[in-house]
Amino acid sequence: MNENLFASFIAPTILGLPAAVLIILFPPLLTPTSKYLINNRLITTQQWLIKLTSKQMMAMHNTKGRTWSLMLVSLIIFIATTNLLGLLPHSFTPTTQLSMNLAMAIPLWAGAVIMGFRSKIKNALAHFLPQGTPTPLIPMLVIIETISLLIQPMALAVRLTANITAGHLLMHLIGSATLAMSTINLPSTLTIFTILILLTILEIAVALIQAYVFTLLVSLYLHDNT
């Protein structure tokens, strides 16, 4: 009970060398590929989910926006598998690190914004000043819209970090309480353990939902700039 709650969020090391890179490269190994004409059930289900997700996200995009389909599908698969692997005991979740989430959010956001300024600069600049704005409010609205644009990648990263971190901390606290109560009161232990199982199921759903939300917001930013 006295251990550091945030110890599981410290980047692991192997012989003094950071192991985060190896952990980040591990999830792609869990997405199997097939060289055969007829796939097994796992690969068929995987391909069906990928097609369903890409179809839903790319339906609102034009031809230029659909060129990002491979990147967005790869992004949602990577975040989802990373979040799910982080639920395993004694594992490390890279998406609890704000620096990593910013490293994903900033380039994708910047690419979408730069594409918007290159392809349709008038529409991109029009977002800074809504039509019919009173003249005295123009400078203030331009500043507010500029800040809201620049804060988008930070909001993406903080949302993902906060949701995954909060779930892990809550699971850690309830797990510690279950272990402490196991020698005191058995009925209370069973009740807390049931809550822990339900929370674990909820965290699995949150891991998948947050991957979808992150990718969907990037897709919306792309749609606004293409």
Residues 182-197 have pLDDT tens digits of 778 778 888 888 888 8
Identify the burial level of 183 via C-beta atoms within 10 angstroms of its C-beta, where 0-12 means exposed, 13-18 middle and 19 or more buried: exposed
Q: Which of 205, 112, 102 is nearest to 155 (CA)?
A: 102
Q: Which of 75, 67, 72, 71 is nearest to 119 (CA)?
A: 67
Residues 99-147 have pLDDT tens digits of 888 988 999 988 888 888 887 777 777 777 777 777 777 788 778 878 8
- Kindly report the pTM of this predicted structure: 0.78
Residues 12-28 have pLDDT tens digits of 666 666 666 777 777 77
Q: How many whole angstroms separate alpha carbon 89 and alpha carbon 86?
A: 8
CB atoms < 10 A from the CB of 13, how many?
Answer: 10
What's the total number of domains in the chain? 1
Phi, psi (degrees; rounded to nearest 5) at 55: -65, -40
Domain range holding 136?
1-225
Q: How many whole angstroms separate alpha carbon 46 and alpha carbon 111?
A: 28
Q: Provide the pLDDT for residue 5.
A: 62
